[in-house]
Amino acid sequence: MSYELNQADIFGLTRQLAPDFHQKGMELFYRFCPYCNGGDHRDRDTFSVNLETGAYKCFRSSCGAQGHFVEMARDFNYRLEGVGEPPKKQYRRFRERREIVVRDRAIEYMKSRGISEEVTRRYQLTIKKGTDNILVFPFFDNKGELKFIKYRKTDFNKSRDKNKEWCEKDTEPILFGMMQCSQDSDTLIITEGQLDSLSVAQAGIPNAVSVPTGANGFTWLDGCYDWILNSFKRVIVFGDYERGKMSLLDTLMMRLPLPVSHVRYEDYLGEKDANDILRKFGENAIRKAIENAVPCVVPHIKKLSEVAAVDLNSLPKILTCIDGLDSVIGGMFFGQVVLLTGKRGEGKSTLMSQLCAEALDQNYGIFAYSGELPDYHFKSWLDMQLAGAANISTMRDRYGNEVYTLAPGAAQTINDWYDDKAYIYDNNAVSDDELSDVIKAAEMAIRRYGVKLICIDNLMMAMDVSMNEDLYRAQGEFVRRLKELAQKYDIVAVLVAHPKKTSGEFTNDAVSGSSDITNRVDVVINYQRAADDAGCDSFVTVTKNRLTGRLITENKPVRLYFSDKSKRIQEDTKTCRVYGCFKEQTAEDKRNGLEDIFDELYG
């Protein structure tokens, strides 16, 4: 019977080899290559397996491992139905012998590390015959059979010695201290180094073991898995703690089916490992560290009872100030990505610009990317909307057509008002990767200037349509990164995208490009020009609303009107909004008028 590729097999082997992996399309990316383990620099995400073809590859040139999943399963002794039982790796067997002779030099060295003669003899530590500086750690399994031997230079010098520790070739990796474990406790303590597990034993705590080949080697797990599962009910990880992270913890938490706890970071008392704690603070500090161990928090999982009860209506947001739209979507909530779509030339950029004006009026900073308009054009459009008809002068050009300009002084008033709140991407700068640069610039604007609204007009322009790579993949990646920005910094992102050339009612599938676009965003707003006999200039519908689920259909759209003079889009022709840049001026004018009256009466 020949083997047929099964995705369940790929996931099964992946969970054994790389509990820290992620899926991108039909590719599974491992955090570290199982063949080279990321090399000396621990390169990440360089290894992938294709779920459709079964092809695997490491992209590190110094490794270059590649082939088919069946070969990979063979290499790592994973059983596949129809392929046959994988050959079991043959390990060296040691001759049966009596108890190891514990040499005085080993006792002397271990005392310097805070470990007593009694513990040294119990674990049968010794010095390699013919030397006085190579410590020997014998690894006995739970039946008392010697399986693995590890060596350590007691006078290691980095400038002189090549290796500090090494192991006997072709021996079976198991946990150090298995033979010394008892049934008095149902808890197993796993440390990284042998000196650390011996430090726990020195503190009088039973069932302390350590891994054979450091934090990144887990070849021992398959051989010890059943013993752990059948002998214990709980595991405490007491790994090395460096740079804010504990070794062993992530992998053991993912791969062991038992409850896993860990020593609290504060109980390391500023030290790196158990032996350092023992030597500096004594046995009681080790005991307290084990007693205070806390259950691991499973990544991406928390108790629902611990989630704060939130009134959705009270969440911070930016109002569009189009009442018919806000009454349905509630406004643009922080953390959301809003997709604004509509046919070319029908006013999407104008509506986006007005959303910028509304955000500024609500005292939120904005950052805009306008790939279709020069920066001065975008500014002119926004300034006209902020100014309103009262601050715009009307003239006629040589052909008799009405043209509109800002009234004297209006431009400076607007500039002063949004000077430290409004920013735009400089698309005159040469860029090799505009997609990344736009995202980076947006993030810098958020962090440095505190902006709360990001507007991208439009998706295709921001991505450089001349790119040769898979366009749909790039679109999905851009929207994913935009969503990450919105959630990470609690801002609103508005993205303009064109629909496909379709007839009939607009749906989310009509948005041009990858389905990832509408899948990832929170709100989809469609803006379209109305027919001449509709009695209004344009319509707005909402075809996706993740927060409340309420939609605006084409049967009952929000009816809008456009002012050619102020470039504003609003729900009626009578309302004349005064934005913040002119509110103070209006109040000042009123004050000046009262002063004139007082002067006339009492001057």
Q: Tell me: the pLDDT tens digits for 367-413?
A: 999 887 889 999 999 999 999 999 999 999 889 899 999 999 999 99
Q: Is there a contact between 71 and 80 (Cβ–Cβ < 8 Å)?
A: no
Name the domain boundary from 56, 75, 94: 75
Do both 558 and 432 map to the same domain?
Answer: yes
Does 305 fall in a domain?
no
**Nearest one of 258, 270, 269, 267 to 295, comparing CA atoms:** 258
Q: Which run of H or E residues covers position 320? A: none
Identify whether 92 is part of a domain: no
Which tens digits make up the pLDDT trace of 12-52? 888 777 767 888 888 889 988 888 877 767 778 889 999 88
CA pair distance 531, 289, nearest whole angstrom: 74
Phi, psi torsion values for 442, nearest 5 degrees: -60, -45
- Return d(Cα 207, Cα 185) in angstroms, integer: 7
Residue 309 in any domain: the answer is: no
- Same domain as 473, residue 405: yes
Relative orientation angle of helices 283-291 and 274-281, to the nearest 10 degrees: 130
For residues 212 and 344, state if they share a domain.
no
Indicate the residue type of 485.
Answer: L
So what's the pLDDT on residue 602? 42
Domain boundary among 75, 93, 121: 75
Q: Both 290 and 169 in a single domain? A: yes
Retrieve residue 288's tokens: 């307290």
Q: Give the domain CATH number at 41.
A: 3.90.580.10
CA distance 58 to 142: 37
Give the pLDDT mean for 260-287: 96
Q: Which residues contact 236 (CB under 8 A, 6 or more apart)?
A: 187, 188, 189, 190, 260, 261, 262, 263, 290, 293
SS3 166: strand
Residue 98 forms part of a structural domain: no
User: Residue 75: its pLDDT value, please?
Assistant: 79
Does residue 97 lie in a domain region? no
Strand duo 451-457 + 392-396: pairing: unpaired
Sign of the CA dihedral running 228, 231, 236, 239: negative
% residues pLDDT > 90 (the chain): 56
The reply to whether 476 falls in a domain is yes
What separation in angstroms does the CA of 345 have from each of 152, 313, 386, 529? 74, 34, 22, 9
Same structural domain, 65 and 182: no
Same domain, 248 and 361: no
pLDDT for residue 367: 97
Which residue shows structure tokens 């899926």? 23
Q: Does residue 56 lie in a domain region? A: yes
CATH number for the domain harbouring residue 230: 3.40.1360.10
Q: Residue 597's pLDDT band (boundaries 50, 70, 90)? A: very low
**Domain carrying residue 41:** 7-75
- Supply the CATH number for residue 476's domain: 3.40.50.300
DSSP tag of 346: S
pTM above 0.75, yes or no: no
Give the model's pLDDT for residue 468: 43
Q: So what's the pLDDT on residue 155? A: 92
Residue 179's pLDDT is: 96
Question: Which stretches within 7-147 are classed as H helix?
Answer: 7-17, 69-75, 104-112, 117-122
Give the count of domains, the chain. 3
Within this chain, do residues 146 and 268 fall inside the same structural domain, yes or no?
yes
Task: Give SS3 for 332.
Answer: strand
Per DSSP, 451 falls in state E
The CA distances from residue 360 to 385, 426, 455, in Å, are 12, 20, 13
What gap in Å lies between CA 390 and CA 29, rounded to an integer? 59
Tens of pLDDT, residue by residue over 416-450, are 999 999 999 987 765 656 667 889 999 999 999 99
DSSP 109-152: HHHHTT--HHHHHHTT-EE-TT-SSEEEEEEE-TTS-EEEEEEE
Supply the pLDDT for residue 465.
44
The CA distance from 437 to 69, in Å, is 37
Is residue 306 domain-resident? no
326 and 271, same structural domain?
Answer: no
Q: 458 preceded by cis ω (within 30°)? A: yes
Residue 283 shares a structural domain with residue 330: no
Q: Are residues 337 and 456 in the same domain?
A: yes
The answer to whether residues 377 and 456 belong to one domain is: yes
Q: What is the pLDDT of residue 598?
A: 43
Listed range (87-101, 138-152, 278-292, 380-394) with the worst mean pLDDT: 87-101
Residues 568, 514: Cα–Cα separation, whole Å: 32
pLDDT at 587 over 80: no
Same domain assignment for residues 110 and 67: no
Name the residue with tokens 């290691």.
156
